[in-house]
Amino acid sequence: MEEVLKELKESAKKFEERFGLRVSFSRTLSILMNYPCILRCLAELELKPQSQLVDTYYLERHEFVRKLLLDALRLQLLEEGFRIQLNSENHADCSTGDIDLKHDHISTTLSINGLRIRVEVKGGIGFSITQILRHLLDANAVVLCLAGRGEAITITKSEAKPLIEYVLKIIKGKLKRLIEGDTTRIPGPWCHGCSIKCEHAKPQRNRKPSLSSEFVKTIQNWDKAIEQTVQQVIDLLRKMKEPKELELKSVGVA
């Protein structure tokens, strides 16, 4: 996986040179993973990153859950005897983390026996698979807090490794085609919000939250999701003494 990732970063640099762009590697990965349309990929990479139109409720919900989780996690870590620093909005090579665990002052994420943990917060019931895969390129394990469901799940890099390697292979191929001048248009749901002057382009869909179903009926689940997330982080830390349980040998830690 590390070799493929290295080759992909080299291809990304060639792409930037080819079109005279300055694009972060994480943004390149995100766009190429999310848009099958080659022409839209090129258009998005040429544009400066813009803030998405997100209803303020979703932003407030995310920050509330994240801050509460940070406090709960810190208190439990201290209770368990773990002296680990917590970071928020950590900008790594392939993604930005909601919460990263840092040991001492060695690295930007937890680095004990090579294990790095990232916690991703989702206020609703869904999540982006491509985003999780990018997180796993920066960490050995991701704990996903699904506040709307009242649940948390943990996935390790070793579990997702075959899929990650396949996705990177596809992304590398798309970058190669872009560098060679491919401008294929592929219409689909991703045409919403596209800036290209194209017969398939459609206006961005803005969603207004239903506070009754997305707030009142789900707040009873938030504490459950946070407690499960905290417990799964603690479980990962405990398993560090038993590397086989995390299959760390197959993770390929850089």
pLDDT in tens, 178-197: 999 999 999 999 999 898 99
Structure tokens at 236: 């990962």
CATH number of 56-160+214-250: 3.90.1570
**Residue from 227, 10, 243 nearest 140 by CA:** 243
Q: Is the dihedral of CA 172, 177, 179, 183 positive or negative?
A: negative
The amino acid occupying position 19 is F
Identify the pLDDT of residue 109: 43
With bands split at pLDDT 50, 70 and 90, how would you rate the model's confidence at 2?
A: confident
CA–CA gap between residue 95 and residue 85 (Å, rounded):
19
Identify the pLDDT of residue 229: 98
With bands split at pLDDT 50, 70 and 90, how would you rate the model's confidence at 52?
A: low
The amino acid occupying position 2 is E
Q: What is the mean pLDDT of residues 34-54?
A: 85
HEC string for 128-144: CHHHHHHHHHHCCEEEE
Identify the pLDDT of residue 54: 76
Q: Which of 156-160, 172-176, 206-210 has the lowest mean pLDDT?
A: 206-210
Identify the pLDDT of residue 235: 93
Identify the pLDDT of residue 185: 95
CB atoms within 10 A of CB 238: 12
The average confidence (pLDDT) of the chain is 86
Q: Domain-by-domain residue ranges, the chain?
A: 2-51+162-191, 56-160+214-250
Identify the pLDDT of residue 222: 96
**CA distance between the termini of the chain:** 10
Residue 246 has pLDDT above 90, yes or no: no
pLDDT (tens digit, 9 = 90+) per residue, 215-243?
998 999 999 999 999 999 999 988 875 54
- Which range, 52-66, 67-81, 227-241, has the best average confidence (pLDDT)? 67-81
Can you give the length of the chain in residues? 254
Q: Which residues pair with 103 in a beta bridge?
A: 84
Distances (CA, A) of 138 to 28, 184, 204: 15, 31, 30
Return left, alpha or beta for 104; rule: phi > 0 is left, psi -120 to 50 is alpha, else beta.
Answer: left
With bands split at pLDDT 50, 70 and 90, how would you rate the model's confidence at 112?
A: very low
Q: What are phi and psi of 203, to 5 degrees?
A: -60, 150
**Residue from 121, 133, 141, 126 nearest 33 by CA:** 133
Identify the pLDDT of residue 252: 35
Give the burial string for 188-227 (b: 16+ CB within 10 Å, else e): eebbeebebeeebbeeeeeeeeeeeebeeebeebbeebbb
Contact 124, 148 (CB under 8 A): yes
Pairing of strands 117-122, 141-146: parallel
- Which range, 32-41, 80-89, 111-120, has the best average confidence (pLDDT)? 32-41
Q: Which residue has the tokens 């996935």?
A: 155
Residue 254 has pLDDT above 90, yes or no: no
